[in-house]
Amino acid sequence: MSATPERQIRLTPSAIRARKGGTPVACLTAYTTPMAKLVDASCDLILVGDSVGMVLHGLASTIGVTMEMMILHGKAVARGVSHSCLVVDLPFGSYEESPEQAFRNAARLMAETECQAVKLEGGQHMAETVSYLVRRGIPVMGHVGLTPQSVNALGGYKVQGRGEDGDRVAADAAALADAGAFAVVLEKLPESLGARITRDIAVPTIGIGAGVLCDGQVLVVDDMLGMFSDFRPKFVKRFAEQGREASAAIAFYAEEVRSRRFPAPEHSFADEGNL
């Protein structure tokens, strides 16, 4: 009888927390099993972000993302992850009401997706909820600055923390760290503020548009791969132009179909003699 393959151990939230001040944490989003396998080979942390609503479902914002969507994509990603720490977003409306509501939904998310942590948005007002979850065995990643679930209250996807508002964002990050978050995402902040928060809190900061001095970086994988040529936020570097290449390939395929050059004999089956 063959031996059961040994299951690889994913990086834990504690291991990510221990990276504070060390080698920067490489993080990308993933929403499907094939993409998760690609990201897992190189990154330390994979985030199943509620950005899935915009990237894969065509929603105008993350507001319409549901628990069922996050569980569906969380399960898919988990099947492709063996090394990276896996974190899944709590969607809008699933945790803001009370710490008890947050625990019920976070526990469900972890049980059904086998992720190692959840992420939630919000600063000082969410510290009690973070503490409640952490005390009950649920690792939490925080998220301050531009919080997409609050885009209507923030007045759009604009830079946060400029001028005196920087003190508020810094206090938000500190409150989450003090409440027990193992890391805090800093989104769309002035570089100097990102550096200040990174210096002042005891857990890793994961930047997205918050400067190079954060303890790690995260991007939406479809953005950095250039899947969508019409979406170019300032904080995204295109490491590939797959959208352009895919568009050209699809056009070439359609041309070959219409001209009957595809399928060719090598793509077809004879009456007998080959499979």
Sequence ranges of the binding site for Mg(2+):
50, 89, 121
Percent of the chain, pLDDT > 70?
96
CATH number at residue 94: 3.20.20.60
Average pLDDT over residues 71-76: 98
Residue 80 lies in a domain: yes
Q: Which two tokens stand for residue 111?
A: 């049980």
Whether 40 shows a pLDDT value over 60: the answer reads yes
Grade residue 8 by pLDDT with cuts at 50, 70 and 90.
low
Confidence at residue 274, expressed as pLDDT on a 0 to 100 scale? 56
Residue 267 lies in a domain: no
Reference 78, options 26, 143, 8; nearest CA is 8
Residue 69 lies in a domain: yes
Of the listed ranges 111-120, 172-181, 230-239, the least confidently predicted one is 230-239
The model's pLDDT over 88-103, given as tens digits with 9 standing for 90+, comes to 999 999 999 999 999 9
Residue 274 lies in a domain: no
Which residue is listed with tokens 């301050």? 144
The model's pLDDT over 108-141, given as tens digits with 9 standing for 90+, comes to 999 999 999 999 999 999 999 999 999 999 999 9
Whether 2 shows a pLDDT value over 50: the answer reads no
Q: Which two tokens stand for residue 57?
A: 């479902």
Quote the pTM value: 0.93
Residue 6 lies in a domain: no
Confidence at residue 6, expressed as pLDDT on a 0 to 100 scale? 47
What's the structural domain count of the chain? 1
Q: For all residues of the chain together, what is the average pLDDT?
A: 94
**In whole angstroms, what is the distance from residue 24 CA to residue 54 CA?**
27
CB 238 within 8 A of CB 220: no
Confidence at residue 150, expressed as pLDDT on a 0 to 100 scale? 86
φ/ψ of 184, rounded to 5, equals -135, 125
Residue 31 lies in a domain: yes
Confidence at residue 5, expressed as pLDDT on a 0 to 100 scale? 44
Average pLDDT over residues 175-183: 98
Grade residue 155 by pLDDT with cuts at 50, 70 and 90.
confident
Sequence ranges of the binding site:
50-51, 89, 119, 121
Kindly list the catalytic residues.
187
Question: What is the span of the domain harbouring residue 32?
Answer: 13-241
Residue 7 lies in a domain: no
Confidence at residue 1, expressed as pLDDT on a 0 to 100 scale? 46
Write the CB contacts of 166 (distance below 8 Å, at least 6 apart in sequence): 189, 190, 193, 196
Confidence at residue 233, expressed as pLDDT on a 0 to 100 scale? 84
Whether 275 shows a pLDDT value over 70: the answer reads no
Sign of the CA dihedral running 104, 105, 106, 111: positive
Residue 273 lies in a domain: no
